[in-house]
Amino acid sequence: MKRNEIRKLNSAQASTTRFGIGMLTPTMIVLLVMTAYPLIFTFVYSFTDYNYLKGTEQASFILFDNYTKLFKNGYFQQAVWNTIKFTILAVVLEMGIGLLIAVFINTLKRGQKIMRTLLLLPYLLPAVTVALSWRMMLSANYGIVNQFLKSVGLPVFNWFMDTKTAFGTILVIDVWQNVPFVFLLLYASLQSVSENQYEAARIDGAGFLQQFWYVTLPNIKGSLALCALLRTIDTFRLFEKVNVLTGGGPAGTTTTITQFLYNYGIKPLDFGYGSAGAIVMTVLVLILSSFYIKRAMG
């Protein structure tokens, strides 16, 4: 009797396993087709001189020539530096501001729902819509920001065409749009922190800053690492705002890797050269992301 029960149990477990595999297989196939194939395609063609107009028949392997050409290109070097600098600054600002807002909203006794809704509005807008809206507001001729500065006697700027302001302006716009994402993720994490911990800290005489440092941060450090990882990956792919607002100018001060790939890979249909740039970009993202992953696992 016991053997029959064991056989039935093993059979049920096997059926459950087969059902799970059967349900996962279509998804895994789609993921492989949508991710693995393009990655392999990009990696292989990064070693060729493949141009879409010439076709694959005319493509030939040139080994590391594309990579050598990339690293010797001063424009690409500037794009890499701009991208890394922009990513670090944007992620630090977004994490800091988002955390402060999340902690503040979490302490409110009333109006949390209204504040959450209002704060999420910038993140819900498409990147192109945000870029076009800010371009109108910061227009050198009719923008409301310059009109206000002029009315109070302050100097006006050509925000997107001045080498001194273009990079910082796009940074501010990107931070403005993406702080709500950080806020939402950290706010949700703060909801899981037990009030008993804060009560115990207050009984021990801990002030607000001590509670934040010894209670809040340790409880949400996993969410902080995850949020930083997601924002790093997303920010590293910055393209829409730069393409709409500056096109990489002035003088390359706002050029990012994606803008470089668009100008030198997609536009001329030089997919071999563009693929090499995409592989370099992927490696850089993995390197930056590894710090967060290591921190989260540690």
Would you state the pLDDT for residue 167? 95
Would you state the pLDDT for residue 194? 82
Confidence of residue 295 (pLDDT cuts 50, 70, 90): low
Tell whether the model's pLDDT for residue 152 goes beyond 60: yes
Tell whether the model's pLDDT for residue 258 goes beyond 70: yes
113 vs 5, more confident: 113
Least confident piece of the model among 12-16, 39-43, 85-89, 284-288: 12-16
Q: What are phi and psi of 100, to 5 degrees?
A: -60, -45
The token duo for 55 is 């076709």
Would you state the pLDDT for residue 268? 86
Would you state the pLDDT for residue 2? 56
Q: pLDDT tens digits for 26-36?
A: 888 888 888 88
The sign of the CA dihedral 188, 189, 195, 196 is positive
The rounded distance, in Å, linking the Cα atoms of 236 and 242 is 12
Confidence of residue 19 (pLDDT cuts 50, 70, 90): confident
Q: In this structure, are residues 64 and 44 in contact, taking their beta carbons and an 8 Å threshold? A: no
Q: pLDDT tens digits for 176-217?
A: 999 999 999 999 898 888 888 888 888 878 888 888 888 888
Cβ atoms < 10 Å from Cβ of 245 = 23
Mean pLDDT (whole number) for 3-10 = 63
Tell whether the model's pLDDT for residue 298 goes beyond 60: no
Inter-CA distances, 164 with 17, 167, 172, 250, Å: 61, 7, 14, 9
Inter-CA distances, 177 with 17, 119, 120, 167, Å: 44, 10, 9, 16
Residue 213 is classified by DSSP as I
pTM here? 0.85
Q: pLDDT tens digits for 53-71?
A: 887 777 788 888 999 999 9
Place of tokens 């040139």: 62
Is the backbone peptide bond immediately before 250 cis, with ω within 30 degrees of 0?
A: yes
Q: pLDDT tens digits for 126-144?
A: 999 999 999 999 988 888 9
Q: pLDDT tens digits for 69-119?
A: 999 998 999 999 999 999 999 999 999 999 999 989 888 888 788 888 888
Average pLDDT over the chain, rounded to an integer? 86
